[in-house]
Structure 1
Amino acid sequence: MANSPSGDSVTDRLLRVLETFTPTRTAQTAAEIGRRAGLPPSSAHRIVSELVAAGLLERDDDRRIRIGMRLWELATRSSHALRMRQAAMPAMERVQSRIREHTQLAILEQDEALFLERLSGPGAGSNVTRVAGRLPLHASSSGLVLLAYGPPDLQNRILSGPLPAFTRETITDPSALRRKLAEVRLIGHAVARGSIELVSTGVAVPVRDETGRVVAALSVVLPREAAVEAALIELHAGKRDIEQSLGYRG
C-alpha cells in the first residue's frame, strides 16, 4: 500500500529507516536517519517515533537513536541464522584456539556473504569482516565457496558483473572467476590471497545441512604469506562437526 506522494509503501520507508544503521553507524539523530533514508523530516521523525514507541528503536541518554532490543528479540526467534550460529560455535572456538587467527561463519544473503559470527584473538591480523557485515561473493574466500556451490542463476548474475576490484588481486574477469569457481568445487575449498586486503589471505570451506546442500562457509583470515595447510586441516575438522550438528551424514 502506497502512503506517500512518491509512491513509497509503508514497508519500504520502514526498511529504509532501519537500513541506515550499519555495524559502524549504531547511533544517529532522527534528522540523520531521515537524510540517509531519503525521507522528509516530518516523515522521518514520525516513523522514528513510532518505531521507538514499539521498542524496535530506542533513544540513548544523548537522545540519539539506536536499534532496540525488541527488534533483536523478534529477529532471533526461530531464526535460521541463529540455529546455524549455535551449531557452529563449538567448532569455531576450536578452530580459533588452534589457528589463533580470525575465524568466521558466513551464509548467502541477497547475493552477498553475510557473516553470522567472527572469533578473533588479540594477536590476529587485519580483517575487514564484522558480525552482521557483508562481503561480495567474488572477492572473499567465503563468498567464493558460497558462489561455487550456489545455484546456476546466482552464478550467472554474479558473473554478468559488475565485479568491482578491492585490490589488484581481486578477480574482476568473468572467465577467471568461472575458472576459480570450478577449482573450488574440485578441491573443496577456496583460498583468496590479497583479494579484499593485500595483507591477508582468506581460506574457506563449505558447510552442508542435512539435505547435503551447502548452506554456509567456515573460514579463517591469515597473514598474506602464511601457509594454509594447517588452517585447512582445522577448517575441515570444524566443518564436519558443524555438519554433524546440522544432521548431514554424507
Structure 2
Amino acid sequence: MGKTGVDAVGRALAILKAFGAERTAMTLTEIAVATDLYKSTVLRLAASLEADGFLVRGPDRLFRPGPELWRLGALYQRGLDLGEVIRPALRRLVEATGETASFYVADGDERICLYRVNSPRSVRHHLEEGQRLPIDRGAAGRVLTAYRESSDPAGKKIRDRGFYVSIGERDPEVAAAAVPLVDVHGKLRGALSLSAIRTRFDADARKTAVDALKSEAKALVGLLPASEE
C-alpha cells in the first residue's frame, strides 16, 4: 500500500475514533471539526466506511457507528481471556493502596478468589488464587450476595451504594472493601476487592480503597470479554 493509501486508512480510522460515549451520532460538519479534515474528505471516506458497514447514516442525516464494528468488537471480546483484563487492574489497585487486591466469583455457598495480587508489605492479608471463602461474610461475599438476592433489603442497600466495607467479619484481624464488576450488558461478573490488616484500614484508607475500586470497575466495563450466556 502506498503512502496515499496509508493516509486514507489513518483518516478513516480517525473518523471512527471520533465517536464515543458522548458522541454517538454526528453530522458531517461535526465529524470534520472533530477530525480536522475537510468535509469533502470526510464525505468520501464516510461513503466507503458506510458501504462496508463501519458507519451508517440515518434519515436524520447523522452518521453513527455501523454493525461491522459491533461484529469485530464481539470477536475481540470472545478471544480475550478474563485474566488478561483483570490482572492489570489488580496490579494498579495494589500500587494505589499497598494492599492485597482480589477478584472473586460466586460458586454456590462459597466465593472463589479467581485472581489476586498480594500486597508487597511484610505484614499483609495473603491470599492464594483458587482459595474458597464463605459467601455470606466479608466485603466481596456481601457484594456477590447482594446481586444474587435482589429482593433482600440489605442487598439493595449495597447495590445502591455500589460498595461494601467489612471490618473483621470473616477474620477479626482483616478488613476489606469490595465493589461489583458489572459488564456493559448489566451482568455481574464478580467482585473486585481490597483487603488489609484491620489496624491499617482506617477511614482514610477505606475511602482511598473504595475510590480506587470504583475507578477500576468503571474502566473495566467496556473491556470485559463476552459472557458465555
TM-score, with normalisation over the residues of structure 2?
0.57
For 2:137, the aligned partner's letter is: A
Q: What residue in structure 2 maps to residue 121 of structure 1?
A: 119
2:198 aligned with 1:200: no
Q: 1:187 offset after TM fit, Å?
A: 0.7
For 1:135, the aligned partner's letter is: L
Q: 1:148 offset after TM fit, Å?
A: 0.2
Structure 2: distance between partners of 1:193 and 1:216: 21
2:82 aligned with 1:108: no
For 1:221, the aligned partner's letter is: S
2:159 aligned with 1:189: no
2:185 aligned with 1:211: yes
2:217 aligned with 1:239: yes
Q: 1:124 offset after TM fit, Å?
A: 5.8
Bigger radius of gyration among the two = 2
Q: 1:151 offset after TM fit, Å?
A: 4.9
Structure 1: distance between partners of 2:184 and 2:122: 33
For 2:212, the aligned partner's letter is: E
Q: Mind listing any 5+ residue stretches in structure 1 that lack a counterpart?
A: 1-79, 156-177
Tell me the C-alpha RMSD between the 2 structures: 2.4
Where do residues 24-103 of structure 1 align in structure 2 (5 Å cutoff)? Answer: 83-103=81-101
Change (3 A) 1:180 1:231: same
Contact kept in structure 1, 2:176 and 2:195, CA below 8 Å = yes
Structure 2: distance between partners of 1:92 and 1:131: 13
TM-score, with normalisation over the residues of structure 1?
0.52
Structure 2: distance between partners of 1:130 and 1:140: 16
Q: Mind listing any 5+ residue stretches in structure 2 that lack a counterpart?
A: 1-77
Where do residues 167-186 of structure 1 align in structure 2 (5 Å cutoff)? Answer: 178-186=152-160
Contact kept in structure 2, 1:140 and 1:196, CA below 8 Å = yes
Contact kept in structure 2, 1:114 and 1:135, CA below 8 Å = yes
Indicate the SS of the match to 1:198.
coil
Indicate the SS of the match to 2:129.
coil
Q: 1:128 offset after TM fit, Å?
A: 5.8
Structure 1: distance between partners of 2:160 and 2:122: 30
